[in-house]
Amino acid sequence: MVLAVLDALHYGLGLASGSIVGCTLGLFGGGGSILAVPLMVYVVGVPDAHVAIGTSALALAASAATALHAHARCGNVRWHCAGLFSAAGVAGAALGSTLGKALDGQKLLALFALLMVVVGILVFRSRANCGDAGAACTRDKLPKVFGYGAMTGVVSGFFGIGGGFLIVPGLVASTGMTTLNAVGSSLVAVCAFGLTTTLSYALSGLINWPLAVLFIVGGVAGGHAGCAIAGRMSADKGTLKTLFSGLILVVAAYVLCRSLGRA
């Protein structure tokens, strides 16, 4: 498959978009992934939705790894819970990416927009959930952890997203951990799901490698910034989540109008 070659301006927009995604990942542990594909398609100008999904999956995995390192240094990662959640979701991500490649690009974007609406509502509803700082993955919680992990993996692979916006509430709901710990721990799964999806799309030739590199470079800087902000503004998470859910809903409306207009 021959991929469209973008000009210097659009590659520059890719660098800037990567910074936005990385910052959002570091700040919320998710949400950056839900913005990555629309940024790839409507800002950077990637003409093929499948290429945008494959490229963003690789960039998100790398950006999440950077944010994970920063959160781990702050002690925000619960490795046992994160590992179990990720293990359950990897198989789901492989299945979801296979299904996503078989769907028409514009229909996939329309479904993506509807998912964003759901995510915006979930983020808003979880704005006041503080969680338990001492929560752990006990044996009685394992069914919930594996269940949430598997379902999130399928969604992540299908849409080529990190899925952190679903992983964070999933970890909170299944283990009772704090939002900050869920943000840090979710990045383990974001990396695992992103790499699984990347492999599937790479084997089909659906990744723009130069754009992915620039997106990653921007995401590295943004990820460190987002983590620093998350630590300083943890008390204001409710307000931040409210604003962020509004942003997601606005982007969702735009993507839905554009995708239906091209259908």
* Residue-wise pLDDT tens digits, 94-119: 888 888 888 887 787 788 888 878 87
Cα separation of 7 and 13, whole Å?
10
What's the pTM?
A: 0.71
Average pLDDT, the chain: 80
DSSP characters over 92-149: HHHHHHHHHHTS-HHHHHHHHHHHHHHHHHHHHHTTT---BTT----GGGHHHHHHHH
Q: What pLDDT is stored for residue 117 in this prediction?
A: 83
Band of residue 133 on the pLDDT scale cut at 50, 70, 90: low
Q: How many domains does the chain have?
A: 1
Q: Each residue of 227-240: pLDDT tens digit? A: 777 667 655 656 66
Q: CB-based burial of residue 178 (10 Å sphere; 0-12 exposed, 13-18 middle, 19+ buried)?
A: buried
Indicate the angle between helix axes 105-125 and 164-175, nearest 10 degrees: 40
Question: Is 3 among the domain residues?
Answer: no
Spatial CB neighbours of 223, under 8 Å, sequence gap ≥ 6: 22, 23, 25, 26, 63, 64, 66, 67, 70
Of 13-27, 98-112, 156-170, minimum mean pLDDT range: 156-170
Question: Is 53 among the domain residues?
Answer: yes
- Quote the domain boundaries for residue 31: 8-262
Q: Each residue of 30-67: pLDDT tens digit? A: 666 678 888 888 888 888 888 988 898 888 888 778 77
Give mean pLDDT, residues 236-246.
68
Question: Is 178 among the domain residues?
Answer: yes
Which carries the bigger pLDDT value, residue 247 or residue 189? 189
Q: What pLDDT is stored for residue 3 in this prediction?
A: 47
CB 72 within 8 A of CB 184: yes
Q: What pLDDT is stored for residue 31 in this prediction?
A: 63
Give mean pLDDT, residues 158-186.
79
Band of residue 177 on the pLDDT scale cut at 50, 70, 90: confident
CB 201 within 8 A of CB 101: yes
What 3-state DSSP class applies to 30? coil
Q: What pLDDT is stored for residue 69 in this prediction?
A: 85
Give mean pLDDT, residues 79-88.
90
Of 9-13, 22-26, 218-222, minimum mean pLDDT range: 22-26
Question: Is 1 among the domain residues?
Answer: no
Question: Is 2 among the domain residues?
Answer: no
